[in-house]
Amino acid sequence: MSVKPDVIRKCLWPACLVGLFITGILSLDCNFLNIHLSRVTWQNLRLLSVMSNSFSIECLRENKAFELPEEILSHTQPVKNDIKEAFYEASIQAFNIFSQYTFRSAWEEKHLKQIQIGLGQQLQYLEQCLEEEEKENEDMKEMEEEGTKHSATMVPRLSHLELRRYFNRIDNFLKEKKYSHCAWEIVRVEIRRCFYLLLKSIALLRRK
């Protein structure tokens, strides 16, 4: 029993919304890479919807609330960079998770490859972008030199920690369910949702 038409319908709407919101990213302080970043991000989001042929209803039983940290998505983020870093973190974690995929039969090889390529691209652009900003940011240079001094600089990155805990829950879920097909499906949908909400926050922040 396939709920494909429903899932696709559900996906088209957020995908379109993201397409509209994507322009929000363009104004963040990175150079022309943003054009590519937004395009690639949107394509990845779309790919996350398309890569699965069917989401069986039985998998819904195994659904789990991963509790995406809402603070990250709040519009009261004082610094735009925070949310971009959160997005970078989410991208890395998603990349790591999908790299563990070995379940051959469900997702087509090419889709899996494409999502890995796509996330790799996304990461590349984000890295370059953040590096550029870092170079401009004098404060960061001081930290670079003090390699031995461990993070007594507890600049509270609690939001990132929350995000990490979220992905840790996803990771543990996969291990618990022994990387079953249903577990992968649920994770795929969850990551898609996470990306979508992050992108939306970025766009809304930009409007402020």
Partner 1 sequence: MRRHPKGGRFYYKYKREKGTNLKSPQNVEVYIVDDSCILKWSGSDEFVSNVTFSVDYQIPEIDDWIKLPGCQYVTSTQCDFSSLQLNVYDEVKLRVRAEKGNDTSPWYEVDSFIPFQKAQIGPPEVHLEAEDRAVILNISPPGTQDSVMWAMDSSSFTYSLVIWKNSSSGEKRTETVYPRDKIYKLSPETTYCLKVRARLRVQRKVGLYSPVSCINTTVENKLPPPENIQIDSNNWNYIIKWDYKYENMTFQAQWLYGYLKKFPGKHEDKWKQLPDCENVKTTQCVFPRSTFSRGIYFVRVQASNGNNTSLWSEEKRFDTEIQTIILPPLINLKSVNGSLRVYIGAPKESENKSVDQPYRLTYEINFWENTSDTQSKILQKKTDFTFLNLKPLTVYCVKARALILEEKWNKSSDFSDTVCEKTKPGNTSRTLLIAGICIALLILAAVVYVVRVLWRCINYVFFPSSKPPSAVDEYFSEHLLKNLLLSTSAEQIERCFVIENTNTVSAAEETNHAGEDYKKYGSQTSQDSGNYSNEDENSGSGLSEEVLLQGAV
Q: What residues line the site for partner 1 (CB under 8 A)?
A: 31-32, 35-36, 39-40, 42-43, 85, 88-89, 92-93, 95-96, 99, 113-114, 116-121, 123-124, 127, 130, 143-144, 146-148, 150-151, 153-155, 157, 160-161, 164-165, 167-168, 171
Q: Could you tell me the smallest distance in angstroms from the CB atom of residue 120 to partner 1? A: 3
Are 187 and 106 within 8 A, CB to CB? no
Q: Which is nearer to partner 1, 59 or 118 (CB)?
A: 118
Spatial CB neighbours of 199, under 8 Å, sequence gap ≥ 6:
18, 21, 22, 24, 25, 41, 45, 87
Q: Which is nearer to partner 1, 55 or 167 (CB)?
A: 167
Residues 208 and 204: their CA atoms lie apart, in Å, by 7
Q: Beta partners for 56?
A: 2
Using CA atoms, how far residue 82 sits from 123, 155, 188, 201, in Å, is 16, 12, 24, 11
Q: Which is nearer to partner 1, 115 or 186 (CB)?
A: 115
Q: Could you tell me the smallest distance in angstroms from the CB atom of residue 79 to partner 1? A: 13
Q: Which is nearer to partner 1, 1 or 154 (CB)?
A: 154
Q: Beta partners for 2?
A: 56
Q: Could you tell me the smallest distance in angstroms from the CB atom of residue 61 to partner 1? A: 26
Cβ neighbours around 92 below 10 Å, total: 16
Q: Which is nearer to partner 1, 166 or 196 (CB)?
A: 166
Are 195 and 115 within 8 A, CB to CB? no
Q: Could you tell me the smallest distance in angstroms from the CB atom of residue 188 to partner 1? A: 18
